[in-house]
């Protein structure tokens, strides 16, 4: 019997498609296995696509259906090969090395170079700031602070700008003699090393141990992994031999907890998967869900930026990144033993996630294609956390915008020093729905400035630190939860 005469193919195409969907349906979606690099069923077994190969016509009609109909799921996973830890350390060393190189060669940077850089990074206020200064001020700024702009540009964009600038000024005849001061102290002529005021750097270490050498300088400029990369082990081994690891740069957990468990993020896994498949296959994908359950290497708050090229390529793609706020955002703010949270650390980390999400559209992410969802798992504390964040933003907003209604000392209280300067604006954007972020909580409406100022005025809140102002003590009662979360990452020998 020919395919055309088969009763099945005499059915309307719409009905055949429904049959295909029923046969191919995987209720739990396709799960990415980072070890094999393949998609699996929820139970971990191989995906059965035998239906798609029954005959040529079925293969044609179901060509892209599985990826169109089924959600692809990715999650953070522990690194068994120790490459995650090495990647984390090497990227930190790389960033420090290129910043040092630029500081030594600051004399090479001209207004024309900054014009070129500004055209490549039009939204970067740090570059715009340098362009507005004269040569002497610009040189001093590059030697002491470098290119800054953490509140208006993602960190990886600033690092890319430094690499690009080094590539441009590398053609200057003076570049190699100036940058050689890093590994040849005789060339310094009494010039102090850059970042001399860094309390972590000892004088003897600063003067005698270079961050790069003549044979490694060009490779250090070229090597610029993105925070979401999962690098090849051979590449990491090569760079490990080319860049020195200063003692102060060793993560404290390496000294205290030799068995620290490092994770790659689910977003990094998704990016690697998308990068490795054919463009026509990528265009078939409709929905991706990413479960971030662990604090992972490589500045996790910026990883969503790595999805921008794929969302731009495929306008029908929808990505949801689910972030366990206790394991991913709060872990670094936790004090083991007491099981309490550092309030300033919590607010700064939340602000960093909000800030990075606010920059997604600026960097080219199409609106509505990628959403970050913060949840509290089974702890039920997300609402309490959101109330804390919102109240801190409201009180800080009142101090900034209604200073005349408060006692003088309220303008110099610890609240201003603890709350990130842009937290109020970021929280307002969450409340208004203008950020691609959702909280597993009732976010409510905007606060009343007069009411916040009144609370500060009549409670005398400026006399206390932030813990007393916003009542963070409720989080200290969940010792079992904190211990379990801590043990997932820091395994004592």
Instruction: Tell me the HSE value of 428 on the side-chain side, using a 13 A CA sphere.
Output: 12
Q: Judge contact between 193 and 246, C-beta under 8 A.
A: no
pLDDT at 197 over 50: no
Q: What is the H or E stretch that residue 34 is in?
A: none
pLDDT at 207 over 90: no
Percent residues over pLDDT 90 in the chain: 37
- CB neighbour list of residue 16: distance below 8 Å, 6 or more residues apart: 8, 9, 61
How far apart are the two ends of the chain, measured CA to CA in Å?
A: 69
pLDDT score for 485: 75
Q: What are the contacts of 203-211 at 24+ separation with CB within 8 A?
A: 205/246, 205/247, 205/248, 209/244, 209/246, 210/182, 210/183, 210/244, 211/93, 211/96, 211/97, 211/100, 211/101, 211/182, 211/243, 211/244, 211/246
Q: What is the dihedral of CA 73, 379, 349, 338, to 10 degrees?
A: -130
Query: Residue 245 — very low, low, confident or very high, per pLDDT cuts 50/70/90?
Result: low
The per-residue pLDDT for range 396-431, each reduced to its tens digit, is 888 788 777 666 555 555 555 667 888 889 999 999
User: Quick one: tokens of 193?
Assistant: 């090393």
């Amino acid at each position: 019997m020919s395919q055309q005469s088969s009763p099945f193919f005499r059915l309307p195409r719409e009905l055949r498609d429904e049959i295909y969907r029923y046969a191919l349906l995987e209720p739990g979606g396709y799960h990415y296995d980072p070890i094999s690099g393949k998609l699996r069923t929820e139970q971990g077994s191989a995906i059965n696509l035998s239906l798609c190969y029954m005959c040529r016509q079925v293969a044609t009609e179901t060509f892209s259906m599985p990826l169109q109909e089924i959600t692809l799921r990715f999650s953070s996973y522990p690194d068994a090969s120790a490459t995650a830890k090495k990647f984390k350390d090497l990227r930190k060393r790389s960033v420090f090395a290129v910043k040092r190189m630029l500081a030594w060669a600051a004399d090479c940077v001209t207004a024309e170079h900054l014009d070129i850089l500004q055209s490549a990074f039009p939204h970067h206020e740090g570059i715009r700031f340098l362009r507005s200064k004269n040569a002497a001020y610009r040189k001093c700024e590059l030697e002491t602070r470098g290119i800054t702009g953490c509140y208006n540009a993602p960190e990886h964009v600033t690092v890319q700008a430094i690499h690009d600038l080094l590539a441009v000024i590398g053609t200057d005849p003076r570049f190699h003699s100036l940058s050689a001061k890093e590994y040849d102290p005789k060339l310094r002529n009494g010039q102090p090393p850059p970042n001399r005021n860094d309390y972590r750097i000892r004088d003897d270490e600063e003067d005698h141990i270079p961050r790069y050498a003549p044979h490694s300088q060009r490779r250090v400029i070229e090597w610029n992994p993105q925070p979401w990369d999962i690098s090849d082990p051979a590449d990491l081994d090569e760079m490990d031999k080319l860049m020195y690891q200063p003692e102060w740069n060793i993560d404290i957990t390496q000294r205290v907890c030799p068995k620290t468990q490092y994770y790659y993020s689910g977003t990094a896994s998704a990016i690697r998967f998308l990068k490795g498949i054919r463009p026509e296959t990528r265009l078939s994908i409709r929905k991706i869900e990413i479960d971030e359950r662990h604090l992972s290497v490589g500045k996790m708050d910026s990883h969503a930026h790595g999805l921008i090229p794929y969302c731009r390529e495929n306008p029908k793609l929808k990505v949801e990144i689910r972030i366990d706020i206790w394991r991913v955002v709060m872990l670094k703010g936790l004090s083991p033993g007491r099981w309490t949270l550092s309030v300033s650390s919590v607010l700064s980390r939340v602000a960093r996630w909000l800030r990075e999400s606010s920059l997604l559209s600026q960097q080219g992410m199409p609106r509505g294609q990628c959403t970050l969802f913060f949840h509290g798992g089974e702890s039920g504390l997300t609402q309490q956390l959101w109330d804390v964040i919102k109240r801190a933003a409201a009180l800080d907003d009142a101090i900034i915008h209604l200073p005349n209604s408060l006692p003088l000392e309220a303008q110099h209280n610890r609240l201003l020093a603890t709350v990130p300067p842009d937290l109020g604006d970021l929280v307002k954007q969450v409340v208004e729905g203008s950020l691609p972020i959702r909280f597993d909580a009732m976010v409510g409406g905007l606060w009343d400035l007069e009411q916040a100022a009144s609370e500060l005025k009549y409670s005398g809140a400026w006399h206390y630190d932030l813990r007393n102002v916003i009542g963070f003590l409720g989080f200290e009662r969940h010792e079992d939860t904190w211990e379990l979360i801590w043990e997932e990452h820091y395994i004592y020998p």
